[in-house]
Structure 1
Amino acid sequence: MGEVEAQELQLSIMVQAEANEVNSLPYVPNQLSRRRGFNWWLRMSIYSVFVLAGQTIATLLGRQYYEKGGKSNWLATLVQLCGFPILLPFYFIPALNKNCPTTNSTIAFESKPPSTLVLASIYASLGLLIAADCYLYSVGLSYLPVSTYSLICASQLAFNALFSFFLNSQKFTPYIVNSLVVLTISSSLLVLQGDDSADSSKVSRSKYIIGFICTVGASAGYALTLSLTQLVFIKVIKKETFRVIMDLIVFQSVFSTAIILVGFFASGDWKGIKDEMEGFELGKVSYIMNLTWTAIVWQLFTIGIVGLVFEASSLFSNSISAVGLPIVPVLAVIFFHDKMDGIKVMSMVLAIWGFISYVYQHYLDDRKFKSEKKAANDEVSKAFAQENING
Structure 2
Amino acid sequence: MFMGTNYLFFFFFLNLQHEESQESNSRRNAALLDRPNHIGVLVHWKWWLLVALNVFFLLAGQSIATLLGRFYYDQGGKSKWMATLVQSVAFPILYIPIFFFNPTNEATNSSVTKPSFAVISLIYILLGLFLAGENMMYSIGLLYLPVSTYSLICATQLAFNAVFSYFLNSQKFTVLVLNSVAILTLSASLLAVGSEASNPTGVSKGKYALGFLCTLGASAGYSLMLSLMQLTFQKVIKRETFSVVLDMQIYTSLIATCACIVGLFVSGEWRSLKQEMDGFEKGRVSYVMTLVWSAIAWQICSVGVVGLIFLASALFSNAISTFALPVIPVFAVIFFHDKMDGVKVVALLMAIWGFVSYLYQSYLDDSKQRSTTMNAIKDLETCQS
Same fold (TM over 0.5): yes
TM-score, structure 1 normalization: 0.77
TM-score, structure 2 normalization: 0.79
Kept in 2, the 8 Å contact 1:47–1:304? The answer is: yes
Please show how residues 25-64 of structure 1 align to structure 2 within 5 Å.
37-64=44-71
Counterpart residue number, 1:221: 221
Distance apart, 1:129 and its partner CA: 0.5
- Deviation digits for residues 54-102 of structure 1 (CA, Å, limit 9, x no counterpart): 221111111111111111101110111111123323332146x45345x
Counterpart residue number, 2:8: none
Distance apart, 1:307 and its partner CA: 3.3
Q: Determine the C-alpha separation between the residues in 1 that align with 2:97 and 2:378.
A: 42
Unmatched 5+ residue regions in structure 2?
1-27
> RMSD between aligned alpha carbons?
3.5
- Deviation digits for residues 311-336 of structure 1 (CA, Å, limit 9, x no counterpart): 43433322222211121210123222
Distance apart, 1:205 and its partner CA: 3.2
Distance apart, 1:155 and its partner CA: 2.7
Distance apart, 1:242 and its partner CA: 2.5
Counterpart residue number, 2:211: 211
Q: Determine the C-alpha separation between the residues in 2 that align with 1:72 and 1:79.
A: 11
Please show how residues 113-132 of structure 1 align to structure 2 within 5 Å.
113-132=114-133
Pair 31,133 (structure 1): closer, same or farther in 2 beyond 3 Å: farther
Q: Determine the C-alpha separation between the residues in 2 that align with 1:367 and 1:354.
A: 20
Amino acid in structure 1 at the alignment position of 2:282: L
- Deviation digits for residues 100-135 of structure 1 (CA, Å, limit 9, x no counterpart): 45xxx5xx3320112221221111111000000001
Counterpart residue number, 1:319: 319
Q: Determine the C-alpha separation between the residues in 1 that align with 2:220 and 2:58.
A: 19
Distance apart, 1:345 and its partner CA: 6.6
Q: Is the aligned partner of 1:89 residue 2:89? A: no
Give SS of 1:110's match. Answer: coil
Pair 39,178 (structure 1): closer, same or farther in 2 beyond 3 Å: farther
Counterpart residue number, 2:266: 266
Amino acid in structure 2 at the alignment position of 1:48: V
Kept in 2, the 8 Å contact 1:72–1:269? The answer is: yes
Kept in 1, the 8 Å contact 2:147–2:332? The answer is: no
Counterpart residue number, 1:234: 234
- Deviation digits for residues 200-227 of structure 1 (CA, Å, limit 9, x no counterpart): 4x12333223223322322222111111
Kept in 2, the 8 Å contact 1:167–1:231? The answer is: yes
Counterpart residue number, 1:165: 166
Please show how residues 132-171 of structure 1 align to structure 2 within 5 Å.
132-171=133-172
Matched length: 356
Kept in 2, the 8 Å contact 1:128–1:255? The answer is: yes
Please show how residues 1-391 of structure 1 align to structure 2 within 5 Å.
37-94=44-101, 97=103, 99-100=105-106, 108-181=109-182, 199-200=200-201, 202-338=202-338, 355=355, 357-373=357-373, 375-376=375-376
For the pair shown, which has the larger CA radius of gyration, 1 or 2? 1
Kept in 2, the 8 Å contact 1:99–1:240? The answer is: no
Q: Determine the C-alpha separation between the residues in 2 that align with 1:362 and 1:333.
A: 31
Kept in 2, the 8 Å contact 1:179–1:353? The answer is: yes
Give SS of 2:105's match. Answer: coil
Pair 322,184 (structure 1): closer, same or farther in 2 beyond 3 Å: farther
Amino acid in structure 1 at the alignment position of 2:208: Y
Between the aligned residues of both structures, percent identity stands at: 53
Pair 239,205 (structure 1): closer, same or farther in 2 beyond 3 Å: same
Q: Determine the C-alpha separation between the residues in 1 that align with 2:338 and 2:141.
A: 20
